Amino acid sequence: MPRHSKGPRLWLQPERFDERRGMRNEAVWVIRDRGRKISTGCGAHALSAAEDALRDYLVQKRDPEAAAKARSDDPLIADILAIYLDHKADKQKRPAEVRARVARLLAWWGTRRCSEVRPSTCQAYAKERGDGAARRELEDLRAALRHGWKERILANPIPVELPQAGPPRERWLTRSEVARLLWAAWTLREKQKRHRGDNSGPALETDRRTARHVARFILVALYTGTRAGAVCSAAIRPTVGHGFVDTERGVFYRRPPGTRETKKRTPPVGLDARLLAHLRRWEAKGLSKSFVVEWNGKPVERVHKAFRAVREAAGLGADVTPHILRHTAATWGMQNRADPYALSGMLGMTLETLQNVYGHHHPDHNRAAAAAIALRPKRERPTDTDRNGRTEQERPSAKAQ
């Protein structure tokens, strides 16, 4: 049975003769920890300094936040990112993605110190990573540095220069493209490749339909303008930790009860009568036993892989992603003269964003201004003056004469 570790401790290494160098080494205090020896550089009579070194070692090993405070006024960015992960990662909606982005940041920024975060270094990082990926990762770096400042690890806030945001997506689906997606999702069959016997060779289609849950996802996401994550996590009745569909009242409560609202707003949305009829039928037939979108009786966490197969079967390009259904809902609403205030409330976006990104799809967009420019002005009547050049208002009245 292995012996229990004694933990980090001081040990006075006795003086010894170094044969290779031909000189005697004085006794020195070292820190022993699980077979390792870390020299403190303190002689036998400097016990107090050695104890300070042991304290600093323990702080650095067990509390990276305190170590960052104690080690330098200019800590490593790696320390700041580690503290950010410890405090914030598990509170994010997708902590695994946050950790993956921080890992990519560490590969470039890990050995640098906070004083090296400058516009030039941010631009160099964006050039190496590509503006699209770098912007989101630099947003995490900015959040970590802001958190470090709030925790008083950094004396002053450190700005992070982000690459310019790309233009808003203009791509949306026509009704014929949506029909192609739905048909592909409903008819797509599983393919299996046989490696033995006479049928070995290319993959063969089976009778198993593998993407009909994607058709249900498309209908709900499109006709409610809801983000993919909220649709996949939606239950068919009130469920702890999930949004749900109230099939009796025809309301989709997209935000789980008891959770706080975020920037990705998810207000309740009323359901169209045709979509509500679909949801009631899916529940009655057992297609949606507990959740709106299910695969083999279990909820679907992410629909992207199956959606990609449906998109390829429909012959559509890589720009058709699950999020495009939300863009399509906003575009169709504006094209059909929906009230912008009501539409923005349904989609959970600000009225300003709706007008700036989708306003040009509205049939009446700037029509009044264009008509005013093209309107031919009325011809002004000539001013009636007498022979003395006076207008009617300037002439003296008969009473005055």
For 6-26, what is the mean pLDDT?
76
**45-54, 80-89, 169-178, 273-282: range with highest mean pLDDT:** 273-282
Same structural domain for residues 212 and 242? yes
Query: Is the predicted pLDDT of residue 297 greater than 50, yes or no?
Result: yes
- Type of residue found at 102: V
Same structural domain for residues 267 and 346? yes
- Type of residue found at 87: H
Element holding 29 (H helix, E strand) = strand 28-33
For residue 102, tell me if it sits in a domain: yes
For 26-36, what is the mean pLDDT?
82
Least-confidence region, from 91-100, 156-165, 343-352: 91-100
Least-confidence region, from 138-152, 236-250, 260-274, 325-339: 260-274
Structure tokens at 334: 């504006």
Same structural domain for residues 248 and 209? yes
Q: Can you give the CATH number for the domain in which 308 is found?
A: 1.10.443.10
Q: With CA atoms as reference, report the closest residue to 238 among 229, 227, 249.
A: 249
Higher pLDDT, 390 or 336: 336
- Residue-wise pLDDT tens digits, 341-387: 999 989 988 888 888 888 777 777 777 777 777 777 766 555 566 66
Same structural domain for residues 247 and 321? yes
154: how many CB neighbours lie within 10 A of its CB? 20
Same structural domain for residues 229 and 332? yes
List the domain range (segments joined by +) for residue 314: 175-192+203-361
Query: Is the predicted pLDDT of residue 259 greater than 50, yes or no?
Result: yes
Q: Which sign, positive or negative, has the C-alpha torsion 209, 210, 216, 218?
A: negative
For residue 72, tell me if it sits in a domain: no
Whether 69 and 155 have beta carbons less than 8 Å apart is answered as no
DSSP 69-121: HHH-SS-BHHHHHHHHHHHHGGGSS-HHHHHHHHHHHHHHHTTSBGGG--HHH
Higher pLDDT, 52 or 269: 269
For residue 170, tell me if it sits in a domain: no
Same structural domain for residues 224 and 270? yes
Q: Look at residue 30 in the predicted model and tell me its pLDDT.
A: 86
Same structural domain for residues 345 and 286? yes
Q: How confident is the model at residue 70 (pLDDT cuts 50, 70, 90)?
A: very low
For residue 249, tell me if it sits in a domain: yes
- Residue-wise pLDDT tens digits, 180-200: 999 999 999 887 776 666 656
Q: Look at residue 201 in the predicted model and tell me its pLDDT.
A: 65
3-state secondary structure of 37: strand
For residue 390, tell me if it sits in a domain: no
Q: Which sign, positive or negative, has the C-alpha torsion 345, 349, 354, 355?
A: positive
For residue 376, tell me if it sits in a domain: no
For 317-335, what is the mean pLDDT?
92
Higher pLDDT, 394 or 133: 133
Same structural domain for residues 141 and 25? no
Q: How confident is the model at residue 396 (pLDDT cuts 50, 70, 90)?
A: low
Give the Cα-Cα-Cα angle 264, 269, 272 (nearest 5 degrees): 135
Q: Look at residue 191 in the predicted model and tell me its pLDDT.
A: 76
Report percent pLDDT > 70 for the chain: 84
For residue 383, tell me if it sits in a domain: no
Query: Is the predicted pLDDT of residue 51 greater than 90, yes or no?
Result: no
Q: Look at residue 194 in the predicted model and tell me its pLDDT.
A: 66
CA dist., res. 3 & res. 5, Å (int): 6
Q: Look at residue 73 in the predicted model and tell me its pLDDT.
A: 73
For residue 368, tell me if it sits in a domain: no
Same structural domain for residues 131 and 233? no
Whether 98 and 89 have beta carbons less than 8 Å apart is answered as yes
Same structural domain for residues 187 and 92? no
For 237-261, what is the mean pLDDT?
89
Least-confidence region, from 64-73, 106-115, 275-284: 64-73
DSSP letter at 360? G
CA dist., res. 324 & res. 173, Å (int): 8
Same structural domain for residues 245 and 344? yes
Backbone φ and ψ of 86, nearest 5°: -60, -40
Burial class (CB in 10 A: 0-12, 13-18, 19+), 311: buried
Residue position matching structure tokens 């036998």? 44
Same structural domain for residues 183 and 131? no
Count structural domains, the chain. 3
**40-54, 58-72, 292-306: range with highest mean pLDDT:** 292-306
CA dist., res. 99 & res. 84, Å (int): 10
Structure tokens at 241: 């930790």
- Residue-wise pLDDT tens digits, 75-92: 888 888 888 888 888 888
